Each structure stands twice: as C-alpha cells, then as structure tokens.
Amino acid sequence: MRIFFATDVHGSETCWRKFLNSAKHYKADVIILGGDMTGKALVPIIDDGGGNWHSTLLENREVLRGEEQVTQFEQAVKRRGYYPFRTDPDELAELSRDEDRWHALFDEHMLATVREWMELADERLAGTGIRCVVCPGNDDQLEVDEVVLEAKTVELGEGRVLDLDGYQLVSSGWANRTPWDTYREEDEPQLAERIAKMVDQITNPPERTIFSLHCPPYGTGLDDAPELTAEMDLKNAGHSVKPVGSTAVREAIERFGPALTLHGHIHESRGTKRLGKTLCVNPGSSYEQGQLLGAVIDMENGKQVKKFVLTSG
C-alpha cells in the first residue's frame, strides 16, 4: 500500500487541488491530509463607489478596476490560503467594530470553502478507488468535521480507527497547548487520555498500525518552532528555535510502537525521525507558495517502513 501524506494546507486552494491530484501523480492508494485545512485570514475587497476596488494582500495595496481584475485578485487571495470577500467602506467599518460579526463572516466563508473542497473531492475521486482521509487539526474549528462527513469520497479521521488494506489508522488533530489558544488544544494529560482511548480500539499489532496525530512528538526535531517573546515576536529574529511538540504523543508512540506516525503542525520542521522501530514523519508546509509538501510512504506487509520520500509538489 502506498500512502501520500500532506498536512497544513491552511485554506490554500492550490494545495487542495494538488492533494486531490497527488494519488495519480505518486501512484498512491491512500491519500491522507493531516489537519489544519482552513485558512487564517479574511481579506476585504472594498468598493469605493467610484468604479474602483481596493484591497491589500501581503501588505501590498491594490487598486482594482473592473470585474476581471477583482476576480483575478480573489483567485490570488484564495491561492494564498485566505478568504476574499467584497464589501464597502460602511460595512467594513461596522465589521471592524464588531468582532462577533466578522467572526461569523469568517466562519461562513471558511465553511463554504471546505464544502466546495469536499464537492471537488467527490467530483475527482469518485470511482477511482482511492481512499482519502482528512483529519482536521488544532486550527480547524469543530464545525469542519460535519462538513467533511457530508463528503462521499472523503473519510473523516478524527478519533476513529480506519482500516486501510490490512493496516489500522488512528487519527487526531488535537494538540498540546499553543500560545494562540486554538480550537483543538488541551493539556498534555487530557491529550494523553484522548490518544489512549483511540489506541484502545486498535485490534492490529503495532507493525500494522499507523498514527496520524497532527501534533509531532516532543523533542524529535519534528517539533522545532521559532521561539517567541512575550509580545509574540520571533525571538532573536527567528534564529532561536525550541521543541514545542507533545510529550503525550511521544509517550504514546514509544509505548505502542506503530509502524508509522504522521504529523504536521510545525511547518518549519520538515523531517523524519525513528522512535524505536516507528518512523515519524512531518513533511512540513509551504502552503503560502502553493507548494504541497508531502511524504510518499510504501507500507510493506507489516515490515519496518523503509521506502519513503519527502516530496515538494
């Protein structure tokens, strides 16, 4: 069985399309998306009432004239992983004042995008025999799961044990605490309990088991993130990194010893690591560039995983 694993596409439509095409490209039987599929930013495109639209992307200010330019700009925003929306100065001012309102708008755009993605998956994957598993991550709101469940060709991974050609896959997008107080994070003891509940459901031996846990194991080099100051600036201009992975995840891997574990969460820490016989993989993420970083892994009848390669598609 060949698996293609990618993670942390963060709303990038380009990356999602590449993910759906990855099975054909890499001749994979199963494609797994490891979490954090939704975007981080909502970008207003403002009608000034005089025939021009104004917006700012990546701190570059744009003045757009006509529908064609606006549509092109919206596509650029989507490729970047953000959600564009058209508005006018009055509505924008109201949104800026009302946090609940812009959060609701954010949710609306975010869930609509996930729905579109699921429809695209159904269109592309139906009848291909390719298994597609998606497990939302700590940056994905809980409502995302419901939308994924609506898809016909995409299987939701969160908290479940899925059978994949003789292997069992358990998945969770929950992570240990982050400085951002995200949607699926909890203290290490609770995370350990969550993982233990899933592991208890496994009936396969370890060598026929795969963990897809969004958060990487602590201290493996797969979890090195830039250190932050109290003001949330990058300490030492990003030259200083520290491990931020989960001890609960590490303990679970070391205790159970699955053949393979798949992680994401820390975009900068692309790499692999062996914990005992377990191969741990974090392919990293370059979603902003529309580059789908991933891993192609061949599982061979319960043998130790040796055939794998990190990819940059």
Partner 1 sequence: MTATTSSGEGAGFQERAVFVRKATGLVRGWSVRDAFIYAVFAINLVTLGWSIFDDAPFVPKGALLWSIVISGVYLIFQGITYAGLISAMPRAGGDYVWMSRVLGGGIGFVLAVAGWWFILWYWVPVYAHIFNIEVLAPLSAIAGWHGGPNFWNGSDGIFVASVITALLASLFIALGIRTYGRIQKICFYGGVFGLVVIAIMLLVTSRSGFASDFNHSAAKLFGTSGNAYQATMSSVSKAYTPSSIGGLNLSATLTLIPMMLFFNLWSNWGATLYGEVRGASDFRKNIYAMGGALLATTLVGVIFFLLFAKTFGWNFYNDANAAFWGYGHGPLGSNFPYPALLAAMIFSSPVLQFLLILIMSLWFFGWVGSVFLSSTRVIFATAFDRILPEKVAGVSRTGVPYWALFLMIAPSIGLAALYAYDTKFQSYTLDATLVIAITFLGTTVAAAILPWRKPEIYNASPIAKYKILGLPLITVAAVGFGVILVFALVEWFTNDVYGVNNADSYYLMGGMYVLAFAIYGISQIVRRRQGIDLGMVYGEIPAE
Between 84 and 157, name the residue whose CB sits nearer to partner 1.
84
Q: CB–CB of 278/253 below 8 Å? A: yes
Taking CB under 8 A as the criterion, the residue among 43, 164, 170, 260 binding partner 1 is 43
Per CB under 8 A, 52 contacts partner 1: yes
Per CB under 8 A, 56 contacts partner 1: yes
Per CB under 8 A, 255 contacts partner 1: no
Total of residues contacting partner 1 (CB under 8 A): 93
> In the structure encoding, which two tokens stand for residue 290, read together?
């529309």
Taking CB under 8 A as the criterion, the residue among 159, 219, 257, 302 binding partner 1 is 219
Per CB under 8 A, 147 contacts partner 1: no
Per CB under 8 A, 95 contacts partner 1: yes
Cβ neighbours of residue 80 under 8 Å, at least 6 residues apart?
12, 57, 58, 288
Per CB under 8 A, 113 contacts partner 1: no
Per CB under 8 A, 96 contacts partner 1: yes
Q: How far apart are CA 222 and CA 74, in angstroms?
A: 34
Per CB under 8 A, 286 contacts partner 1: yes
- C-alpha distances in angstroms, 253 versus 161, 186, 273? 16, 18, 12
The one segment of 114-122, 156-164, 177-185, 202-210 that binds partner 1 by CB under 8 A: 177-185
Per CB under 8 A, 240 contacts partner 1: yes
Between 167 and 308, name the residue whose CB sits nearer to partner 1.
308
Per CB under 8 A, 233 contacts partner 1: yes
> In the structure encoding, which two tokens stand for residue 247, read together?
């001890």
Per CB under 8 A, 302 contacts partner 1: no
DSSP secondary structure, 148-187, as one string: HHH-SSEEE-BT-EEEETTEEEEEE--BS--TT--SSB--
Q: How far apart are CA 159 and CA 141, in angstroms?
A: 15
Task: Determine whether 32 is exposed, middle or buried from the number of CB atoms within 10 Å of its CB (0-12, 13-18, 19+).
Answer: buried
